[in-house]
Amino acid sequence: MTSWHGDRTPGRPARGLLALLLLALLLLAAAPTVLLAAVIMMTLGHVVGGLALFGGSVLAAAMAVAIAGMTGRQHLRTLLSKASFHVAQVDHRQYAEDIAEADGSG
């Protein structure tokens, strides 16, 4: 069994990210219901209102997903910069020399 430790609880930025993720998932899950409500509104004669309802819900869900994605990427970069390992950049000249040696032309 796993147990929770005090040092393993998420910090304030992680809680904000989880809240944004939850909001994005809820807005995406509500889209089919909003579509049904918009269709019902349009069949009752409120075409502009139905289109506005559905368009607004899609826009809100897309914005929530985009903000959660940008915040998550920033949070991931922060975590990676604090990590104990570093990712090295590949030196393309060394790579070209290794290929030339493998081909026998260098």
pLDDT tens column, 1-49: 455 555 556 677 778 778 888 888 888 888 889 889 999 999 999 999 9
Is residue 106 domain-resident? Answer: no
Task: State residue 39's pLDDT score.
Answer: 92
Is residue 61 domain-resident? Answer: yes
Is residue 71 domain-resident? Answer: yes
105 vs 38, residue with greater confidence = 38
Is residue 76 domain-resident? Answer: yes
Instruction: Tell me, rounded to whole angstroms, the distance of Cα 52 from its chain centroid.
Output: 26
Confidence class for position 98, pLDDT limits 50, 70, 90: low
Is residue 91 domain-resident? Answer: no
> Which residues form the domain of 44?
30-80
Is residue 73 domain-resident? Answer: yes
Tens digit of each residue's pLDDT (9 = 90 or more) over 66-87? 888 888 787 777 777 777 665 6
Average pLDDT value over all residues in the chain: 78
Total domains, the chain: 1
- The pTM for the full model equals 0.55
